[in-house]
Structure 1
Amino acid sequence: MKERKELKLILKNKLITPVYQPIVDLKDGSVFAYEALSRGPKNSCLERPDKLFAIADKENVSWELDYLCRSMAIEYAKDKLGSCKLFLNVDAKIMYDEKFHQGSTAEFLKKCDLSPNSIVFEISEKTTINDYKSFCSVLNNYQCQNYKIAIDDVGSGYSGLNLLAQISPQFIKIDIGLVKDIDKNYIGKSIVKALASFAHAANIKIIAEGIERPEEIDILIELGIDYGQGFYLGKPKPEIELIAENIKYHIVKLHKEKENFRTNTLLNMTIGEIASCQTTFSAETQGQVIIDYLNSMQEPLDVIIVENEIPIGLLNHNIFFQQLATKYGIALYSNRPIKLLMKKNPLIIDYKTSIEETAAQALNRDTKHTYDSIIIVKHNKYYGTVTIKKLLEVTTKLELNRARHANPLTGLPGNNVIEWTLAHHLKTPAPFAIIYVDIDNFKVYNDIYGFEAGDNILIATAKLLHQAAIKNNNKFFLGHIGGDDFIIFIPVEKIEDVCNWIIEEFDKEVPNFYSSTHRQRKYIIAKNRSGEVEKFPLMTISLAVLKVENKIGLTSTILASKAAAIKKECKTIHESAFVVRECCDKVLETDSREN
């Protein structure tokens, strides 16, 4: 009785408090959307939303409560959303209600000067759906009106996967249970990785819910998850707020680290760099206007449909003219809006996405749309278009570049790029240091364990050196000279920290590549270069460091000669060590670590 009375007061006096939780773009830390949640009167028996909606369902007023929550959420957010989307939770049972079909949300949006394109209906996988055919028909109807659909709690049960199989949502939200402690849960990480792969192949954006720790963010970014949501990024609050700058910085920093390896292998070009801006049209543009436009073009173009600068559809020129070529095609479409024929869920890519990642998503589309142009956006607004022909041309060039200039085993820049980078450093006034990296006793290991095991050592060393770059804000260049020789260009102030870290990590990891017998002995018995049997210690790492400040008259040949002398001295220490010298050959510092 008390709860029923409280519910009536809430509905009568609109005693609902909307709260908004940010959904964050894991590429740049910007807020992509807000999820609107509802709270009952503070300290009342119906403050909690689960209790509030359960009583409303019991009293048969679910529609009234749902509409009140939805309208208040939109009303409070209308002037603060900007280009962000608004996620609205909708009970599946409500969507069957005739009142929901009557366009009440559309009318309210119109009053608030918002478009359906800014609204995402979020359907929970935990919701019981009895008639999938009717329910999917309702969802498809809303998608046709430019509303977006998100399936919530994917991974918590069977129904969400069933929904995904029958509709084409724009978003899926991974269940909290899979995200929690994902950095410690290998199985959960594997499931999320599989979901991400599926979603990207299907052109569905994926959102991770329940993020509470920075370590979880690290793994989600590594797995390529598009968006994140959770208390770590921002709690639900009555006011629409941006995320904290330190969290945004953390996300940006992680992405820079992730991209560093790609940059080192000459794959740093983004899709935005090859995009071409073209004329766009509204969804209400008549077919004849499009016909005239396409006929005036020297080359066939796909038509991009936008609303308030935000892409909402694409019309493939071949499909369009095929439709016009049917018996009543001209009569049907020449004087009707182009939205009747446009594809409402085209491939839309952020301008900062790599060429390689874009190509993967483009080629994973269904066969009918494989050759559709790719729409490029910046801050969610139309930025340009890339045709498949252009994408293939650039991809081919990049692959040839990578093959030509990168080491085939590690993927790191090879000698040509090393030479170019060194020449660039010698032309700039800033001092820098060159670290020549050499693995001691590698040849013996390679002879005993075989070439494949030797290759694994080189790959592991490349990754370790890459991690050193990450730990130092990527402020150095890493290249692979060949064999067990690597090179690093680094700011002089970073020398000691980087060298100490490399030695510590190498000495920690290298025993894992030996058999238990060799680990216990700490040596291998093998023949030396003279054919005599000898004991060889486990591999160590030598770092010959050359500080370059006065660059007058210096060439790569002079530097290589000086580096060889430092490397020779470093190897006499017989354990992992680094030796630092200036070009004047004065020994500045020697350090080593016990094996």
Structure 2
Amino acid sequence: MLKKLNQDYRNEFFGILLNKSISTNFQPIISLVNGEIIGYEALTRGPEDSPLHYPDRLFEAAKRYNKVWELDLLCRITAIERAKDVIGDKFLFINIDADIIKDPEFKKGFTKEYLKAYNISPKSIIFEITEHTAITDYKSFKNVIENYRSQGYRVAVDDAGDGYAGLRMLSEIRPNFIKIDMELIRNIDKDMLKRELLKSIQRFVEATNLKIIAEGIETYDELRTLIDIGIEYGQGYYIQRPSPSFIKLNEDVMETIIKINNTKSLLRANSRNLRIGDYCRMDKALQDFETASKADELFKANTNLQGIVVMKDQKAVGLIMRNQFYQHLSADKEKEEGTFYSSNLHEFMDSNPLMVEAEELLSNVCRRALSRDENQVYDYVIINDRGYYKGVIPFGGLMDALLGIINY
């Protein structure tokens, strides 16, 4: 049976290669300053009904059957043919395995004459170097990269921040673009350590004239945090999912980006009169009739989440902080009662948390937050808009905002 599965797998791969039955989706990379599309990343897909639909499986099969070069060439040709009428004033980001780019055959497929047939300038092509294969000879690899760069091609390093190998590649080849690993972007609005790390990278690129592209932006709060930090470019499902066609950016997304940037500019100009609502994070809240098991699910789904707002009729009525929640749970287990998971949230929530209106001055909120009892200083502050729940700001967010005032 296993032998038959392996044979079917092999036949599937070679059938795809023979019939050139791959497709290319394109995901826009945009400016986080004005929402304009600067380029597209080409993403290869196998047939939809195939076990080799996703690129990681497709290239895994290519490596197994020693056909990486053939598959890579097919992917590249397909992407360029599809994008030839779009790129020019836009970049085309093409994923390149670190091993492939050193192959002499690769050079033949990326001569100026080859691109000229599609009326494409090398300046429109960005090699997105992926770490599928470990680089053993950085000196030779760097020479190859410099050769392409001298012809007008540009280089991006994918998954920067994903371990030592990615950082070394960054320092060795000095790319034009650094693509930040999506794991660093995920929930960055809720993780101060991630924010500080990205701020450090941002300071580095500002000093070295490189450009950052944040990958995997999936929420409004992630987008806003990246813009606040000063990240220039981004891509992700919140902006636009990969598509086989080149569609215009959703107007709502563009308006959101412009609005966030305008707000940021106003805050800089009026740093002494900042309103707490401008720093609001729109966390999901739970209803007061829900049980502790629901809060447990939410905390476990997001390890960076430190608090949950409890609502009733669209109004915040309480707050559950992670440490207090699990203290209740531990006490319940020690008593061997086993009733905590089924208890309603209002039975153990803090029914008198610090709640403020969105129009209140940031400086005033900071004073009120710091004047709380010591065991509540780090609790979330709940932000309301005319009495209705709007969002939260964690203690770290308050300190970030306060430091922003000082630095302005």
Asked if 2 retains the 8 angstrom alpha-carbon contact of 1:125 and 1:154, the reply is: no
Equivalent position of 2:368 in the other structure: 511
Asked if 1 retains the 8 angstrom alpha-carbon contact of 2:161 and 2:184, the reply is: yes
Describe the superposition over 1:100-142 as per-residue Cα deviations: whole angstroms up to 9, x where unpaired: 1235453331111000000000012454111111111111111
**Cα pair distance change 1:195/1:141, threshold 3 Å:** same
Equivalent position of 1:178 in the other structure: 184
Q: Distance in 1 between matches of 2:370 and 2:52?
A: 61
Asked if 2 retains the 8 angstrom alpha-carbon contact of 1:126 and 1:159, the reply is: no
Q: Distance in 2 between matches of 1:179 and 1:501?
A: 27
Asked if 2 retains the 8 angstrom alpha-carbon contact of 1:125 and 1:157, the reply is: no
Asked if 1 retains the 8 angstrom alpha-carbon contact of 2:97 and 2:130, the reply is: yes
Q: Distance in 1 between matches of 2:86 and 2:162?
A: 33
Q: Secondary structure at the match of 2:359?
A: helix
1:45 offset after TM fit, Å? 2.4
Equivalent position of 1:51 in the other structure: 57
Indicate which of 177, 194, 201 corresponds to 1:195.
201
Equivalent position of 1:36 in the other structure: 42
Asked if 2 retains the 8 angstrom alpha-carbon contact of 1:22 and 1:242, the reply is: no
TM-score (norm 2): 0.67
Q: Percent identity?
A: 42
Describe the superposition over 1:406-457 as per-residue Cα deviations: whole angstroms up to 9, x where unpaired: xxxx6xxxxxxxxxxxxxxxxxxxxxxxxxxxxxxxxxxxxxxxxxxxxxxx
User: Is 1:24 aligned to 2:23, yes or no?
Assistant: no
Q: Distance in 2 between matches of 1:89 and 1:43?
A: 23
User: Is 1:95 aligned to 2:93, yes or no?
Assistant: no
1:504 offset after TM fit, Å? 8.3
Equivalent position of 1:464 in the other structure: 275
**Cα pair distance change 1:179/1:467, threshold 3 Å:** closer
Describe the superposition over 1:192-215 as per-residue Cα deviations: whole angstroms up to 9, x where unpaired: 111111112111110000110010
**Cα pair distance change 1:262/1:75, threshold 3 Å:** same
Structure 1: where are the runs of 5+ without partners? 265-409, 411-458, 469-499, 520-595
Structure 2: where are the runs of 5+ without partners? 1-6, 280-356, 377-408
1:86 offset after TM fit, Å? 0.4
**Cα pair distance change 1:189/1:144, threshold 3 Å:** same
User: Is 1:228 aligned to 2:245, yes or no?
Assistant: no
Q: Distance in 1 between matches of 2:43 and 2:58?
A: 12
Asked if 1 retains the 8 angstrom alpha-carbon contact of 2:127 and 2:154, the reply is: yes
Asked if 1 retains the 8 angstrom alpha-carbon contact of 2:24 and 2:42, the reply is: yes
Equivalent position of 1:5 in the other structure: 11
1:4 offset after TM fit, Å? 2.2
| Greater Rg by CA | 1
Q: Distance in 1 between matches of 2:161 and 2:362?
A: 37
Indicate which of 167, 181, 184 corresponds to 2:173.
167
Q: Distance in 2 between matches of 1:72 and 1:3?
A: 23
Asked if 1 retains the 8 angstrom alpha-carbon contact of 2:160 and 2:170, the reply is: no
Equivalent position of 1:502 in the other structure: 359
Equivalent position of 2:79 in the other structure: 73
Asked if 1 retains the 8 angstrom alpha-carbon contact of 2:88 and 2:120, the reply is: no
**Cα pair distance change 1:185/1:503, threshold 3 Å:** closer
Q: Distance in 1 between matches of 2:194 and 2:172?
A: 25
Q: Which has the higher contact order (CA 8 A, sep 6+)?
A: 2
1:515 offset after TM fit, Å? 8.0
Over aligned residue pairs, what C-alpha RMSD do you find? 2.5
**Cα pair distance change 1:467/1:256, threshold 3 Å:** same
Asked if 1 retains the 8 angstrom alpha-carbon contact of 2:275 and 2:360, the reply is: no
1:82 offset after TM fit, Å? 4.7
Indicate which of 226, 248, 255 corresponds to 1:249.
255
**Cα pair distance change 1:173/1:501, threshold 3 Å:** closer
**Cα pair distance change 1:466/1:103, threshold 3 Å:** same
User: Is 1:119 aligned to 2:125, yes or no?
Assistant: yes
